[in-house]
Structure 1
Amino acid sequence: MIHDPDAAVDRAAFERWRTADPRHAAAYARAERAWDSAAFLAQTSFGRTRALPERRRFFERTELRYAFAAAAVLVVAILGLSIGGVGLFRHDRPPQAAQFASNIGQIRRVALADGSTVTLDTDSVLRVAFTASERRLYLSRGRARFDVAHDAARPFVVMAGNGSVTARGTIFDVAVAGDRVKVILLRGVIEVRDGPSAADTSQPTMVRLSPGQQIAFGAAEPLVVPQPAAATDAQWPTGMLNFDRTRLADAIAQANRYSTVRISLADPALGDVRITGAYHTGDAAGLAQGIADSLGLHAAKTPEGDVVISALAPVPAT
């Protein structure tokens, strides 16, 4: 028996199994109740420590005692075979499902049950659904960096937009913006697949990326040839925004993802101005002022607390 001091059972493994899932504890509790009903536990050291009533008369007949003992051993054997999912009754463990999200302005690091880590960029949502045969995740919004623990038996699959990214031990970024997905590989090898469009019933396209490459796709467009990724694209987990001749409109769009303070341009034509520099994401007003100073523009707060960047007013002639 599992409770008997002479039991040839790994007690630590049993306790890990029982505490791993409330359903395990409930199943074992039902088994205990069955034993109690049969008065078998009362005849063991565990039963005596539980102060269970002894029903010696019931077990005075040797054949009954052996019959109940055999039945109890069978129950324990079934439980033992299920510990760790080995033996004749091996089955996939139920999915380990969880959802993680980051707030606006927050960069959040999450440790997963398989040893992998995920870094969530600002305003991101990720759902995790692990099984014994696959590690599947769903990125519905934002951006995430996946540092994948190697597991040859369980592929690591990130679903995003209309496609997926498959890896086994590597580091890569996935970003979702509307119906578009961007993937950047930092280390290892990954396979990017896009699903067939409504008008195309062929198999999904697959592209394999090498370190330093990126690829982007949308809901109704096929995968294209991977392109080199900019070095600045990999630095977002540091909390810095790095721009290298980036359009001002694009730089402001990135900055606005990290703050409830909105930066805008008084003249849309300023959006095509190019900017180079590194800015901290935690201070929108300071970032706007830094951008304005580097480009010779003017940054002013609105009554609502937002910031508007405009061209400097011409100095009147004297």
Structure 2
Amino acid sequence: MTSVIKIVDRQTVDAIAAAWLAQLDGGDLSPADMAAFREWLNRSPEHRETLIRMARVWSGLDTVIDARLEKVLAVAEADDAEKPAGLMPALARLYPVRASLAAAASLFMVVFGVFFVAADPFGFSAAPDKAVYASAVGEQKEMHLEDGTIVRLNTGSSLEVDYSPEERSVRLLEGEAWFDVAHNAKRPFVVYAGDGAVRAVGTSFAVRKRENVVDVTVTSGRVVLSNLKREENVEPSPYPLATLEAGHQASFDERVESVDSLDTEELDRKLAWRDGYLRFNGQPLSEVVDEISRYTTVTIVIEDPTLQNLRIGGYFQTGDVNTMLDILHQSFGVEHEWKGEEQVILAAAK
């Protein structure tokens, strides 16, 4: 039996939790943001524990009750029967003053030894004057930034925007996003993801963060790929690796792992998620299942190893597991069996 477990590193969870706390402190969330926050909070016990841990440190610095946060967390927890003890008191006592919240975050790093310099070398750990955006599993979200840049978030993704007069900086904390960047040669646009940086002026491209690897797909213009070079006692600085032109895709970490040239059809296929669809053109079933699994909380297991390399073609609406199962059965003879509501087993027809 094949199973896949998604592992998100501790520093990424810390950064996302800090960003959510900063946004919660900054004001009311929109219904879409509230849904994304609830989904992230309930996705893993680790997310809850991290949020509580940070909130308790911040709450210890002041006795002022922040009613906004209490209300938000009450809504987020409303349909969850396993609310952990102490969550509301911890989150209801956050600093309401923006500058003080940043100071609280600094104290958190000292007390718990969470060194954001390692996870966030350019100082992008959440601050109240920065914006965080997130999408729930199965959701795509579009945002228009202050400079006219358009951002589309893919499923289960989050990013932090930090614009300064010198640089338009975005940190992709988790998942995938596509950027249509407004041109401004004097104010470059840089996406940071893990230890990678993607620099553009006026172009459009997608970035996906996969554990220690960053995937970049350029739809127009060009971008410069860099690794955040680290030297002892020296602040990390971007180390250029390659320039990527339109119609190309690259994967990189400390070096460029691969560069592929994509024709228009393949480029559209890889970015079909922007329109709410997934397209396949002869990919193995194992790859199809991995991709579809990003858009649903259902666990899909390929029980029969002979099915792993079955070539699949067609398109599916993101998150529509039932339609995928019907097509696999009707067109490819693949049987399925549900195990409860959250797991489905795929097997060859008997």
2: distance between equivalents of 1:177 and 1:114? Answer: 28
2: distance between equivalents of 1:263 and 1:109? Answer: 28
Which digits, 9 at most, give the CA deviation of each residue in 1:84-134, with x for residues without a partner? Answer: xxxxxxxxxx99510000001100001111110100000001000001111
Range with greater deviation from structure 2 (261-270 or 181-190):
261-270
Classify 1:168/1:202 alpha carbon distance in 2 versus 1 (closer, same or farther; 3 Å): closer
Residue of 163, 175, 179 corresponding to 1:142: 175
**What does 1:25-64 align with in structure 2 at a 5 Å threshold?**
none
1:131 aligns with 2:164: yes
1: distance between equivalents of 2:318 and 2:225? Answer: 30
Classify 1:137/1:283 alpha carbon distance in 2 versus 1 (closer, same or farther; 3 Å): same
Q: Which amino acid aligns with 1:217?
A: F
- Residue matched to 2:82: none
TM-score of the superposed pair, with normalisation by structure 1: 0.64
Identity among equivalent positions (%) equals 33
Deviation above 4 Å: which 4+ runs of structure 1? none
Range with greater deviation from structure 2 (224-233 or 151-160):
224-233
Q: Which amino acid aligns with 1:274?
A: R
Residue of 137, 142, 152 corresponding to 1:104: 137
1: distance between equivalents of 2:329 and 2:231? Answer: 46
Classify 1:312/1:215 alpha carbon distance in 2 versus 1 (closer, same or farther; 3 Å): same
**Is the contact made by 2:247 and 2:261 (CA closer than 8 Å) also made in structure 1?**
yes
**Is the contact made by 1:263 and 1:284 (CA closer than 8 Å) also made in structure 2?**
no
**What does 1:120-269 align with in structure 2 at a 5 Å threshold?**
120-196=153-229, 204-218=239-253, 221-224=254-257, 226-229=259-262, 230-231=266-267, 232-269=269-306
Could you say what secondary structure the match of 2:329 adopts? helix
**Is the contact made by 2:292 and 2:319 (CA closer than 8 Å) also made in structure 1?**
no
**Is the contact made by 2:251 and 2:258 (CA closer than 8 Å) also made in structure 1?**
no
1:189 CA displacement: 1.3
**Is the contact made by 2:297 and 2:342 (CA closer than 8 Å) also made in structure 1?**
no
Unaligned runs of 5+ in 1: 1-21, 23-93, 314-318
1: distance between equivalents of 2:238 and 2:183? Answer: 27
- Residue matched to 1:5: none
Q: Which amino acid aligns with 1:187?
A: S
1:301 CA displacement: 1.9
2: distance between equivalents of 1:289 and 1:146? Answer: 34
Which digits, 9 at most, give the CA deviation of each residue in 1:165-221, with x for residues without a partner? Answer: 11111110000111111000001111111234789x997232111110010013xx4
Tell me: higher relative CO, structure 1 or 2? Use CA pairs within 8 A at least 6 residues apart: 2
- Residue matched to 1:304: 341
Classify 1:132/1:197 alpha carbon distance in 2 versus 1 (closer, same or farther; 3 Å): closer
**Is the contact made by 2:224 and 2:240 (CA closer than 8 Å) also made in structure 1?**
no
TM-score of the superposed pair, with normalisation by structure 2: 0.58
- Residue matched to 1:278: 315
1:305 CA displacement: 4.3
Larger radius of gyration: 1
Range with greater deviation from structure 2 (283-292 or 234-243):
283-292
Could you say what secondary structure the match of 1:153 adopts? coil
Q: Which amino acid aligns with 2:329?
A: A
1:288 CA displacement: 2.3
Q: Which amino acid aligns with 1:110?
A: M
1: distance between equivalents of 2:246 and 2:331? Answer: 33
> Cα RMSD (Å) of the superposition?
2.4
Q: Which amino acid aligns with 2:131?
A: A
